[in-house]
């Protein structure tokens, strides 16, 4: 098994088999491109400045220029980096001065958004999640709408409010309507929630008017990130008919700072759920395009000293694959661009502990979660912090995504605008 001369802890998400890309800065604040290796960052901007890596695409504050070089260049750079970091390679291992200038402890850096995101689309591709929501809000006997098993349902989100892990999220104010009220009111969200998701970063563009065939869709994916799509459930309930989510979802979407490439995830591919009815020909895919990635959600309140696990799920539960999502997205000729984010939608499994939102975990607030501090939660309160992790244990190593974390801040309230009924 390939190993690095840099010591990598056994449970590390970032062995030499992974090498995810990210944007970091040191004390000078300048954004640089690097890959994670164990507890360190390998500075690719510096390696390119030294002439060890060709080109100039790592002299940037986002990954977009590198991603735009294409798949053959991604493979080439990955091979060079794995050779450079190999335990038997002397070029970097035995050059202490070079090592000191290009290898930085992760604890000494700040992480930033890895890509410049032009557009963001959020899918709704977990059958279990869609069934749970339909059961709660509509008819339990007809939980799924008729189109759900035929198309990967989605809505367009807001790219400007996608933030990197560690960014606090302010509780939104919005318009809501209680079931018993005659008229709506305006005020802070009362039902603040998270959504456990994963997202793919588009790596290859298609021209306007030219659909991407499902069998070629994977060629248009650079890599994947963890996603927490924060959700204001009470705002969503009032606004979503007839055009779907708006202010309830575009308040913030948090992503992990490291982009794990599709090449690194190759051994994580598994068969997805059986699709019945059979998809239409433009969505019918060959091969296994689900991913065995174990996911966990942890919650910490202001009274708790450490995080407590509240849910565990797996990306392999997704009914619609990333290839089907991308093929459907472009089937009308919609042009995707390098750096676009396509999120999976909430990832829920078949049992209550695998549900990917508080809406489901507490079943609309009727079954509060009991925490180790003695507190309970139906939905998120101000000061609560969420941490999502994802990893896939392989034979002798782990391919991981690190984490995506965020804390709920109190709302900014203009008292003159509050309307309570």
- Whether 209 is covered by a domain: the verdict is yes
77 and 95 share one domain: yes
**Residue range of the domain that includes 179:** 120-417
324 and 390 share one domain: yes
Model confidence at 256, pLDDT cuts 50, 70, 90, reads very high
The reply to whether 13 belongs to the active site is no
CATH code: domain of residue 287: 3.90.850.10
State residue 175's pLDDT score. 96
- Whether 14 is covered by a domain: the verdict is no
Beta bridge partners of 297: 311, 388
CA atoms in the 13 A half-sphere facing the CB of 277: 8
Percent of the chain whose pLDDT exceeds 70 = 100
CA-based nearest residue to 113, from 160, 80, 78: 160
389-402 pLDDT, tens digit each: 999 999 999 999 99
Name the domain boundary from 112, 131, 161.
Answer: 112
State residue 417's pLDDT score. 83
- Whether 101 is covered by a domain: the verdict is yes
State residue 240's pLDDT score. 92
Q: Total structural domains in the chain?
A: 2
CA-based nearest residue to 222, from 86, 338, 356: 338
CATH code: domain of residue 53: 2.30.30.230
407 and 343 share one domain: yes
Name the domain boundary from 80, 112, 144.
Answer: 112
194 and 269 share one domain: yes
68 and 136 share one domain: no
59 and 179 share one domain: no
378 and 266 share one domain: yes
249 and 287 share one domain: yes
Average pLDDT (1-19) is 96
What is the distance between the terminal CA atoms of the chain, rounded to a whole angstrom? Answer: 65
58 and 124 share one domain: no
- Whether 312 is covered by a domain: the verdict is yes
75-92 pLDDT, tens digit each: 999 999 999 999 999 999
> Mean pLDDT over all residues of the chain?
97
Q: Give per-residue burial for 253-280: e unless 16+ CB within 10 Å, then b.
A: bbbbbbbbbbbbbeebbeebbebeeebe
State residue 317's pLDDT score. 98
- Whether 35 is covered by a domain: the verdict is yes
For residue 420, pLDDT beyond 80 = no
Average pLDDT (211-233) is 98
Average pLDDT (288-302) is 98
- Whether 11 is covered by a domain: the verdict is no
Average pLDDT (88-117) is 97
Name the domain boundary from 112, 141, 175.
Answer: 112
Q: Which residue has the tokens 């996911």?
A: 295
Regarding pTM above 0.75, the answer is: yes
- Whether 404 is covered by a domain: the verdict is yes
Average pLDDT (145-151) is 96
Q: Are 246 and 237 in contact (CB under 8 A)?
A: no
For residue 295, pLDDT beyond 90 = yes
293 and 217 share one domain: yes
53 and 124 share one domain: no
- Whether 247 is covered by a domain: the verdict is yes
Model confidence at 416, pLDDT cuts 50, 70, 90, reads confident
For residue 421, pLDDT beyond 70 = no
User: Residue 351 contacts by C-beta under 8 Å, 6 or more apart in sequence?
Assistant: none
From the candidates 13, 129, 220, 328, give the one annotated as an active-site residue: 129
85 and 206 share one domain: no
315-348 pLDDT, tens digit each: 999 999 999 999 999 999 999 999 999 999 999 9
């Amino acid at each position: 098994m390939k190993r690095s001369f840099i010591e990598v802890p056994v449970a590390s998400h970032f062995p030499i088999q992974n090498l995810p890309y990210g944007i970091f800065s040191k004390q000078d604040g300048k954004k640089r491109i690097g890959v994670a290796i164990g507890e360190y960052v390998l500075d690719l901007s510096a390696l390119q400045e030294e002439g060890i890596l060709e080109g100039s695409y790592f002299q940037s504050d986002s990954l977009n220029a590198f991603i735009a070089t294409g798949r053959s260049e991604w493979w080439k750079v990955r091979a060079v980096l794995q050779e450079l970091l190999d335990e038997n390679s002397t070029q970097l291992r035995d050059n202490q001065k070079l090592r000191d200038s290009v290898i930085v402890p992760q604890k000494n850096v700040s992480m930033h958004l890895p890509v410049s995101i032009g557009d963001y689309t959020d899918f709704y591709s977990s059958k279990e999640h869609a069934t749970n929501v339909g059961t709660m809000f509509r008819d339990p006997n007809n939980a799924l709408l008729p189109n759900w098993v035929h198309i990967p349902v989605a809505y367009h989100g807001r790219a400007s409010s996608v933030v990197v892990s560690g960014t606090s999220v302010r509780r939104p104010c919005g318009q809501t309507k209680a079931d018993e009220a005659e008229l709506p009111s305006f005020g802070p969200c009362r039902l603040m929630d998270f959504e456990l998701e994963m997202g793919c970063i588009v790596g290859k563009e298609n021209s306007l008017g030219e659909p991407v065939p499902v069998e070629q869709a994977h060629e248009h994916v650079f890599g994947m990130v963890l996603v927490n799509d924060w959700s204001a459930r009470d705002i969503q309930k009032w606004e979503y008919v007839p055009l779907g989510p708006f202010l309830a979802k575009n308040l913030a979407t948090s992503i992990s700072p490291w982009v794990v490439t599709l090449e690194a995830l190759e051994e994580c591919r598994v068969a997805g759920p059986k699709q019945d009815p059979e998809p239409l020909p433009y969505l019918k895919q060959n091969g296994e395009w689900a991913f065995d990635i174990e996911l966990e959600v942890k919650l910490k309140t202001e009274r708790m000293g450490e995080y407590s696990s509240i849910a565990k799920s797996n990306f392999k539960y997704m009914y619609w694959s990333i290839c089907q999502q991308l093929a459907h997205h472009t089937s009308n000729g919609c042009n995707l661009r390098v750096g676009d984010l396509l999120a999976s939608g909430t990832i829920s499994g078949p049992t209550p502990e695998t549900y990917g939102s508080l809406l489901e975990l507490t079943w609309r607030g009727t079954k509060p979660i009991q925490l180790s501090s003695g507190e309970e939660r139906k939905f998120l309160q101000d000061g609560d912090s969420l941490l999502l992790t994802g990893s896939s244990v392989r034979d002798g190593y782990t391919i991981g995504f690190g984490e995506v974390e965020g804390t709920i801040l109190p709302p900014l309230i203009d008292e003159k605008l509050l309307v309570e009924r």
